[in-house]
Structure 1
Amino acid sequence: MPPLHPTVKPNPLQKANLCSRLFFWWLNPLFKTGHKRKLEEDDMYPVLPEDRSQHLGEELQGYWDQEVSRAQQDAWEPSLMKAIIKCYGKSYLVLGMLTFLE
């Protein structure tokens, strides 16, 4: 009987250096595999713990709770957009700046 969860190769982004991260070199093995044949689910890397939906949802929930409590104190409607920007805005700003520089 085959194992339920075959051996999962670690995500190379976890050990990638700054240069590799900036230029996405850590993805080269996956690109090579995709060039040779059609990629399959087993070829994909596992999601990093900080990118799992459970973690991201809890982080956003914390910002939303802060937004709701501030809105109740100041008697205005809470803004989901403000919570999302506070939660994810910095990372997207950095990515946008890097994209602009390229």
Structure 2
Amino acid sequence: MPPLYPKVKPNPLQKANLCSRLFFWWLNPLFKIGHKWKLEEDDMYSVLPEDRSQCLGEELQGYWDQEVLRAQEDAREPSLMKAIVKCYGKSYLVWGMLTCLEEAEEWLLMAKILWAESYH
């Protein structure tokens, strides 16, 4: 009988240094394999411990329990959306702001060019 959980490669992100994390160098071996042939399940790295469903589920469960208690105090129905936003909202807000800055960069560059051209 084949093993229930096949042996997977350890995730190199766990031991990656700051430069490797910033520039995604830790993914280069996977990119090389993907360039040579189609990636298979055996080529993939294991999931990081903090990204496992068990860990994330327990974190969300804590926020859900808090939401249920608050809802009982306020005599209302608990909101799963509020629990999700409290659990994951900060990280998505940061990534959203960085994405907005990245998108605004083009507009700001265009505004600078138009401003510089107007003085010549």
TM over 0.5: yes
Q: Tell me how large the CA RMSD over aligned residues is.
A: 2.1
1:57 aligns with 2:57: yes
Distance 2:91 2:78 in 1: 23
* 2:22 is the alignment partner of 1:19: no
Bigger Rg, structure 1 or 2:
2
Describe the shift of the 1:100–1:25 C-alpha distance in structure 2 as closer, same or farther (beyond 3 A): farther
User: Counterpart in 1 of 2:82?
Assistant: 82
* Structure 2: 5+ residue stretches without partners: 103-120
1:1-102 maps to which residues of 2 (within 5 A)?
A: 4=3, 7-102=7-102
> If the length of structure 1 is used for normalisation, what is the TM-score?
0.83
- Deviations 1:33-72 (Å, cap 9, x if unpaired)? 1011100111100001111111111111110010000010
Count the aligned residue pairs.
Answer: 101
Residue segments in structure 1 that go unaligned for 5+ positions in a row = none
Classify the secondary structure of the residue corresponding to 2:8: coil
Report the Cα offset of residue 100 of structure 1: 3.3
> Structure 1's 20 and 8: CA in aligned 2 closer, same or farther, altered over 3 A?
same
Give the drift of 1:24.
Answer: 2.3
Q: Distance in 1 between matches of 2:62 and 2:84?
A: 11
8 Å Cα contact 2:8/2:44 also seen in 1: no
Cα distance change, pair 6–72 in 1 and its aligned pair in 2 (3 A): closer
Letter of the 1:13 partner, please give it: L
- Give 3-state SS (helix, strand or coil) of 2:45's partner: coil
